[in-house]
Amino acid sequence: MCSISHLTYNRSSREDRYSKIKMGKEIPQTQAILNCIDLSNPNIDHNVDLLKQSCTDSGFFYLINHGISQDFMDEVFAQSNTFFTLPLNEKMKLLRNDSHKGYTPVLDEILDPQNQLHGDYKEGYYIGVEDNDSLHHKPFYGPNQWPASDVLPGWRETMEEYQRRALEVGKALARIIALALGLDANFFDKPETLREPIAILRLLHYQDKVSDPSQGLYAAGAHTDYGLITLLATDDVQGLQICKNKDAKPQIWEDVTPLKGAFIVNLGDMLERWSNCTFKSTLHRVIGNGQERYSIAYFLEPGHDCLVECLPTCKSDENPPKFPPIYYRDYFSQRFKETHADLHVYSKQ
């Protein structure tokens, strides 16, 4: 387990935070205890065991010593913050396009429509893959939108370098996942999976509002991620919560404490599907406490033409495949449309 004893954790402020939120039928939050995987550990078997335990329990874990320096992470956060401090009219010039690249305004995304009054109290910026000209006709590939260099000098270069480094971390982690599923370590290292992935960097800025679940108000509504794995870097403002059993009545939500220098990693729905539910994709949300919060999510997804079907090590006569095969492009396009506002709403404003 990761030690968080060195982190500042103010219990009274936490209790005050939740005294402001009408929790309805929810059970008061507890602190999540997550495994900590050290990517520099030469004992690969130890990491495989830790990951397997994490992926069958909470679906979340910390990843440390991943090779991206704290100085560089600080620079990425600083550049992200400079974008979100631009005037709204400047940000709207970079509104996400049909390739799903660019700016997403506050309330644009509604992740839990059954329980949310309106969209999330967050704004974001999508940056995706654009270095392969042959892929530009496919959704989620193609050119990114970039702020002008005279407005945000060095911004593009910083984000592109972060994408390169995060992809290497994701590939290293995918090798451990493959071993944990009884596969060859290079199983995911194929053109249709992680050599030409739908790798999406998303910068996020949460508003300084207090969430109220009883009124359907969230910084980010409860959801599971779409794809393979998510690498999340956060500032030191708490807000992320996980629910290990989404079917529990009432649901039990656990706070995930930020760990400086670590990624918070979670599995996506597609890996749960691929593994025939051997590994789990866990429900999570963000609860605002009146403070601004910044995070950087890197979503590592299979390639556009990847056919996702039950892994050979995850099925048997007693445990047949639970899902039919599906091309990732079809699955991802549908999930994206379900959670984001139609772009036409902005042309009417």
Segment 11-40, tens digit of pLDDT: 333 334 333 333 445 565 688 999 999 999
pLDDT at 169: 98
Give me the residue label for tokens 């053109």. Answer: 191
Closest-CA residue to 270 (of 233, 297, 230): 230
Any idea where the domains of the chain sit in the sequence? Answer: 36-346
Map 247-307 to HEC letters: CCCCCEEEECCCCCCCEEEEECHHHHHHCCCCCCCCEEEECCECCCEEEEEEEEECCCCCE
pLDDT at 5: 31
Per-residue pLDDT of the chain (349 residues; tens, 9 = 90+): 554 433 332 333 333 433 333 344 556 568 899 999 999 999 999 999 999 999 999 899 999 999 999 999 999 999 999 999 999 999 999 999 877 899 999 998 888 999 999 999 999 999 998 755 555 566 667 789 999 999 999 999 999 999 999 999 999 999 999 999 999 999 999 888 888 888 999 999 999 999 999 999 999 999 999 889 999 999 999 999 999 988 888 889 999 999 999 999 999 999 999 999 999 999 999 999 999 999 999 999 888 889 999 999 999 999 999 999 999 888 887 776 766 556 555 555 5
Per DSSP, 237 falls in state -
pLDDT at 304: 83
Omega of the bond leading into 250 within 30 degrees of 0 (cis) = yes
Pick the CATH number of 36-346 from 2.60.120.330, 1.10.287.130, 3.30.300.30, 3.30.360.10: 2.60.120.330
